[in-house]
Amino acid sequence: MKGVWALLPLLASSGCLFLDTLNHAPTIDISDGITTAIKGSPLTVHADANDDEDGPSGVHLEFSVVAVDDQPFDRNCDVEEHTSGGNYTVTFYRTGTFEVTAAVTDRDHATTKTRVMLSITDAKPLFTGNGTAAQSSGHDICGNNTAGDPITVHLDGAVMDEDAGVHASFAGCSANETLRYTWRVTDWPGGSKPTLTLFDGSTCAAPTAASGATLVVPNTLMHVCLWTDPMLFSGVGMYSVVLDASDGTTLVTSGAANITVGPDQPPCITGTEPVAGSYVVDRTQTQSFYVDGAVDDRDGFDAGISYVWSVYRAADGTWTDVPNYSLSTYELDLSSFGVGEKLKVRVEALDRTLQRVPAATCAPDVDDCTVSSCATNMNVCHKWKTWDLELR
């Protein structure tokens, strides 16, 4: 026996001793660097695992994910995971930086790990189509907008956001972001107060004390009303209106609707019967006068335009308005006047403002009061007309 044991050092020193009990750790390979995706988009990480002795089938592959950005991490609602073979598909529902670990273990429990960093970002809201605010109401007869009138505005286009409304399927997980829409007046004539209200499809909601230059709406399909300032008496001013869309992280702004507004134009008489002028009439006959044509920048002949009739008696030198009368026709009974008397009959057109011509513009003794208005050809507007009558 002593001789056998003596052979062991000799065999070892000759290099003939072979021990096969050493285990080699399995190998694993995963993509390197930071991989980026937006919230709600599935992202797949692939790992190739192998064992020198047992091959790919002799190892067990596991994936795990942790947040490394110091933000709270709700594993139920912030992430959804699915593993199939060497693929790990993960969907994140919040922004941040995450670490995915792939670990491979062989039959002898030797383990190798590797990691990849995932950066999850927010998808910004995006205007599609024209992406511009636009006037939806019509212009006045002058091709402008009249100060004091509400003007409806809408978005010509739409808004999309890839990750708005996405959420995990676990019970109780709500959408992590929703889009918020705000109409906003960005520019307006000096001294005026821009006001926005909702439009219900037929009428504009009246402004209240809380109304102002911004208005939150539930969606991009709603039209809103811009209330222009009626005190814009001279020149042309401009309002600019935009729509803001925000997902809580990023705010984007549409192109602007630039809306020009001008002062209200006076109503104009374009025709009378008989033609306004001087006449000798029979005092025993009732005389009829009527307006057969009138135009205005925003009111029509039978819709919004009214009239003031007045009579001047030379004997007393005064003009007297016909009370409570606004029709386009007028009949005058002359039987109470004497032969040879001189009278004047005048009709003045009024629009919805019911504004009379000030004396500084037209003196009362002027038979034809003309002012400027873009509603008429050559910009000459006949604000009132007069008939001079001599009774016989």
Report which of 352, 350, 346 is spatially closest to residue 294, judged by C-alpha positions.
Answer: 350
Contacts of 32 (CB under 8 A, 6+ apart): 116
Type of residue found at 103: A
Tokens of 19: 């021990």
Domain boundaries, given as residue ranges, for the chain: 23-121, 126-261, 268-391
Does 2.60.40 match the CATH number of domain 126-261?
A: yes
- Between CA 364 and CA 348 the distance in angstroms is 12
pLDDT in tens, the chain (392 residues): 444 334 334 334 444 444 455 778 898 888 777 789 999 999 999 999 988 776 777 789 999 999 999 999 999 999 999 999 899 999 999 999 999 999 999 988 899 999 999 999 999 999 999 999 999 999 888 888 988 889 999 999 999 999 999 999 999 999 989 999 999 999 999 888 899 999 999 999 999 999 999 999 999 999 999 999 887 766 788 999 999 999 999 999 999 999 999 888 999 999 999 999 999 999 999 999 999 999 999 899 988 999 999 999 999 999 999 999 999 999 999 999 999 999 999 999 999 999 999 999 999 999 999 999 989 988 999 999 999 999 99
**Residue for token digits 């995706």?**
37
Predicted pLDDT at 108:
85
For residue range 18-58, list pLDDT tens digits in order: 445 577 889 888 877 778 999 999 999 999 998 877 677 77
**Distance of CA 26 to CAs 59, 99, 103, 107, 239, Å?**
7, 21, 10, 10, 71
Predicted pLDDT at 31:
75
Predicted pLDDT at 12:
41
Predicted pLDDT at 260:
92
For residue range 97-136, list pLDDT tens digits in order: 999 999 999 988 899 999 999 999 999 999 999 999 999 9
- Between CA 238 and CA 258 the distance in angstroms is 7
One fold for both 23-121 and 268-391? Answer: yes
Does 2.60.40.10 match the CATH number of domain 23-121?
A: yes
Predicted pLDDT at 3:
45
Tokens of 180: 């918020």
The pTM of this model reads: 0.75
Report which of 313, 310, 385 is spatially closest to residue 343, judged by C-alpha positions.
Answer: 313
Tokens of 337: 């006047």
CATH of 268-391, one of 2.60.40, 3.40.1350, 2.40.50, 3.40.50: 2.60.40
Which residues on adjacent β-strands are paired with residue 91?
80
Q: Helix, strand or coil for residue 377?
A: helix
CA torsion angle for 238, 147, 360, 372 (degrees, to 10)?
A: 80
